[in-house]
Amino acid sequence: MRMPLKDSIPFSVDLNLSYSKLQHVYFERLKSLLQVSNIKVMLGDGTLTDTTTFDPNSLLLYFSRLAKSLDKWRIHGVIKSNTDDLHRITYQLSTQIEKIVISVYLGIQYHALRYYRLDRRVLEIQKKLYEVTSEGNEIRRSVATAGNDLVLRELGKLGYAELGFEELLEKMLSDKSFSSRLEGKVNKIFNEFPDLMNVEADRNKLISELNDYVMEVYKIEPVLVDYNKLMQGQEGFVIYMDIETMINKKLKERRSYVNFNKVNVDSQNRINHSLVNLVDTINSVQI
């Protein structure tokens, strides 16, 4: 069962209240933890722009400290996942009291956007890259022209000059020696254009250097995100909590339904105490 609960019995009301406090404390803790900084970055066209970012590593450090401060909670660790520019960090912990299993999921979901660092060298590389790319395109056109002329001459020598495209394609597919001969002749064309390899090497070197100036900027909205919003890709502070009944501990079989009317008073008190302890710990852990 996912919090908040819809039951109106007193224990369910208490659990909802504890979960509400947990949400509030986690939200306030992350607002102070994930400090947003204003920075200037460069777009692909060289335009300067203002944006904001934060450091996700501060959350990882916080979770590490949290793990050392919790007792009677099992720590399942951090899970990171990326889908294109959408990044997710989730942290799971759980506790079991009698047959009741409580699982809490904390984390963040944010976007990682790529910009260039402010540096004149970026513009210099882009200009040089444009020149090298243009030079390479010119050489490739020359190679293509020379290759077409060579193929036409070879087809004439072999008596296939009048073949249509479909007939020629069928001939190449059915006669491997014929296609290999043409391929060998065309490959020799590249030896007549040694500058093409130099241009490609220069282009790859420039691209590699340009990538060194790329930086990631992290964007997040200071809002609470439950499981459904997490799956929808919304940015924010992730928190949700499940309560289940353990059916078979050895096989780790659980049932999502919990009959709260059958939870004895002692177990209720222990569950409430565990959640209060979790709230206090989340609020007090420092980095």
Helix (H) or strand (E) holding 154: helix 120-158
Domain count, the chain: 2
* Inside any domain, residue 1: no
Mean pLDDT of 3-21: 91
* Inside any domain, residue 62: yes
Give yes or no: residues 112 and 125 share one domain: no
Give yes or no: residues 57 and 183 share one domain: no
97-135 pLDDT, tens digit per residue, is 989 999 999 999 999 999 999 999 999 999 999 999 998
Give yes or no: residues 63 and 199 share one domain: no
Q: Which of 212, 241, 265 is the last residue of a domain?
A: 212
Give yes or no: residues 251 and 267 share one domain: yes
Tokens encoding 275: 């959640």
Question: Is the pLDDT assigned to residue 56 strictly greater than 70?
Answer: yes
Give yes or no: residues 58 and 107 share one domain: yes
Calpha distance 275→112 (Å, rounded): 33
Q: Which of 155, 184, 212 is the last residue of a domain?
A: 212
pLDDT at 139: 80
260 CB-near residues (< 8 Å, 6+ apart): 5, 7, 9, 11, 12
Give yes or no: residues 168 and 57 share one domain: no
Calpha distance 107→26 (Å, rounded): 10
188-216 pLDDT, tens digit per residue, is 666 667 787 788 899 999 999 999 999 99
Calpha distance 209→129 (Å, rounded): 11
207 CB-near residues (< 8 Å, 6+ apart): 129
* Inside any domain, residue 3: no
**pTM of the entire predicted model:** 0.77
Give yes or no: residues 73 and 178 share one domain: no
Give yes or no: residues 64 and 140 share one domain: no
Question: Nearest to residue 267, comparing CAs of 29, 3, 44, 11?
Answer: 11
Give yes or no: residues 191 and 86 share one domain: no
Give yes or no: residues 223 and 167 share one domain: no
Give yes or no: residues 254 and 191 share one domain: no
Tokens encoding 14: 């208490």
* Inside any domain, residue 248: yes
Q: Which of 192, 212, 232 is the last residue of a domain?
A: 212
Give yes or no: residues 108 and 14 share one domain: yes
* Inside any domain, residue 34: yes
> Cβ(94)–Cβ(73) under 8 Å?
yes
Q: Which long-range contacts (CB under 8 A, 24 or more apart) does 203-210 make?
A: 203/129, 203/132, 203/133, 203/136, 206/125, 206/128, 206/129, 206/132, 207/129, 209/125, 210/122, 210/125, 210/126, 210/129
pLDDT at 269: 92
The whole domain housing 127 covers: 120-212
* Inside any domain, residue 258: yes
155-188 pLDDT, tens digit per residue, is 676 666 666 657 665 666 676 676 676 666 666 6
* Inside any domain, residue 262: yes
> Cβ(73)–Cβ(278) under 8 Å?
yes
